C-alpha cells in the first residue's frame, strides 16, 4: 500500500525554501509515530532538507539524477521501482513524504492519505497538488484547537481510496 503523508496550510502550502513553514510539535510526533519502522519515499529536494536519513525507517530517494547518498539510503531512478516494491510488499505501507512533484506523480496510485490541515495561511513556495476528495473516504479525523501550547487550530484526517 502507498500512503501520502503531509501537512498543509489553509491554502495548500506545504513548503518554503525546502522546509516546513511552521513548527507544529503534534504533527511531527504523529509523523514519527506513523512512519517509524516503515519505508519512506521522497524526492531529492525533500531529502536535502533533512540533516540526515530519517532514523528507524527505510529511506528511499526518488530521482533520475545520479546522487551520492549516505549509507543506508536507497535511490530509485523511476516510479517503476516504487511500483515493484509495492507489488513485492502489498500489505506493507510505504509512505511518500514529499515533495510536491513526487506527491503528484504517486497520487493516482496511492491507497491512503494522511493529511494535517493547519487553519492558518503561511508564506512559502511549494503547494500540494490538487486532490479530488470525492475519490477518498475519511477513516479518521481529529481536530486540535489552538491554545497556549498550540499556536494554530489544525486537524489530522486519514483517508482511504473509495
Beta bridge partners, 116, equal: 7, 156
Digits of tens for pLDDT over the chain (162 positions)?
Answer: 999 999 999 999 999 999 999 999 999 999 999 999 999 999 999 999 998 999 999 999 999 999 999 999 999 999 999 999 999 999 999 999 999 999 999 999 999 999 999 999 999 999 999 999 999 999 999 999 999 989 999 999 999 999
Whether the full predicted model's pTM is greater than 0.85, yes or no, is: yes
Which domains does the chain show, CATH number per domain?
Answer: 2-161 (3.40.430.10)
| Rounded Cα–Cα distance for residues 20 and 16 (Å) | 6
Which pLDDT value is given to residue 51? 83
14 by DSSP, 3-state: which?
A: strand
- Is residue 94 within 8 A of residue 1, CB to CB? The reply is yes
Nearest partner of 70 among 85, 56, 60, 80, judged by Cα: 60
| Rounded Cα–Cα distance for residues 147 and 35 (Å) | 27
Amino acid at each position: 500500500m502507498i500512503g501520502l503523508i503531509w501537512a498543509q496550510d489553509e491554502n495548500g502550502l506545504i513548503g518554503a525554501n525546502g522546509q516546513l513553514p511552521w513548527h507544529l510539535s503534534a504533527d511531527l510526533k504523529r509523523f514519527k509515530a506513523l512512519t517509524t519502522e516503515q519505508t519512506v519515499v521522497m524526492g531529492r529536494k525533500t531529502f536535502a532538507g533533512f540533516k540526515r536519513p530519517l532514523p528507524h525507517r527505510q529511506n528511499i530517494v526518488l530521482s533520475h539524477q545520479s546522487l551520492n547518498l549516505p549509507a543506508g539510503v536507497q535511490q530509485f531512478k523511476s516510479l517503476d521501482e516504487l511500483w515493484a516494491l509495492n507489488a513485492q510488499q502489498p500489505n506493507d505501507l510505504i509512505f511518500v513524504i514529499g515533495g510536491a512533484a513526487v506527491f503528484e506523480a504517486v497520487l493516482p496510485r496511492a491507497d491512503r492519505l494522511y493529511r494535517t490541515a493547519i487553519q492558518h495561511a503561511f508564506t512559502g513556495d511549494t503547494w500540494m497538488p490538487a486532490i479530488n476528495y470525492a475519490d477518498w473516504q475519511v477513516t479518521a479525523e481529529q481536530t486540535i484547537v489552538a491554545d497556549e501550547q498550540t499556536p494554530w487550530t489544525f486537524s489530522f484526517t486519514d483517508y482511504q481510496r473509495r
